[in-house]
Each structure stands twice: as structure tokens, then as C-alpha cells.
Structure 1
Amino acid sequence: MTSPTLTFTQTVTCNSDQRNSSLLSASQTTMRLNVRLSARVSFQIDNENNPSLRHENTDTVTFVKPVYNSRPAIDRRLRHSQTVVTHGETTT
């Protein structure tokens, strides 16, 4: 799901062998605050059905962090609007 100011992504990974199976799910939402700054909230779940001794079956991690864009979208649009000459034809 994507809007001009909000992006949601999710990744799920499953692994299995004879001794253990694991599932890793990571979700994140990024909200653009202005041209250069966004806020990101991430949540990750790591589950193993047969973890090593003294470890829990499920670990969770939550992140809240700022994201700085050193090359904002406005700069990218300006770069793509440059005039290019190829084989005698001019394109913009």
C-alpha cells in the first residue's frame, strides 16, 4: 500500500530443516513528513519451533526511527527532465 506520504511494506520468510522451522515477519510503515524527513515504525517477529536451550520460541523487535533522504524526490524529477541527445534526436 502506498500513498504520496505513507508507505507500508511487509516481508515474510520461512525456513525449515529436520530439526527446526522458523518464520520471520517484518512490517514497516514510513510516513513522509517533508521533502527530506520521514518517520518509520517497524515491527519484527521471529519464531522458531525448536530454539536452542535457554531461548524463547518467539522474539519481537519494534523500531521507531527518523529517516533522512539526502536526495529528495524533487531532485530526482529534475534530473530526469534533462535534455538527452541520442542518434541525432532530442528527447526531454
Structure 2
Amino acid sequence: MSQGQIIDLLQQAMLNVILLSAPMLVLGLIVGLAVSVFQATTQIQEQTLSFVPKIIAILVAIIVFGPWILSRIVDYTEGLFMNLNDFIK
């Protein structure tokens, strides 16, 4: 296995990590920002108020994007196992 193949595998893995985590992170960021603006405008200083909407939003994102995430992971893993003989050489 050459260095180029290893770098290509690592690039694919890092791209998958970024793509698969992005929906949850972006949605959590948007909800957190909206809750912070709401707290600032109403002058509510409750620390725990921001956690519940973020948790709910991230759970909804996991439910919505779950099939896509699972298919990406399965495709990547199948690609690794299909090319295992090429990696060993």
C-alpha cells in the first residue's frame, strides 16, 4: 500500500466525518443562536434554557438525516472491504 493510497483513504474518512457531523452541528448552532437572541431580548438569564431546545433539535436532525448518514457509512465501509486485497498488496 503506497503513501498515496493511505492519504486518499484518510482524506475520504475525514470528508465523511465532516459531512456526517455537519447537519447536527449546524442545526445545534442555529438553535443555540436563536435561543441566545431570545434570552438577550427578554433578559432571561437561565443557563439551562439553551440546552433543551438544542438537544431536541439535534435529536430531530438525527432522525431526519439518520438514513442518509447510515447509507454513507455503509457505502464507505463496503468500499474499504471490497478493496481490502488492493490495500494489502
Normalised by the size of structure 1, how large is the TM-score? 0.27
Question: What's the TM-score, normalizing by structure 2?
Answer: 0.28
- 1 or 2 for the larger relative contact order (CA 8 Å, sep ≥6)? 2
Greater strand proportion: 1
Query: Of the two, which has the highest radius of gyration?
Result: 1
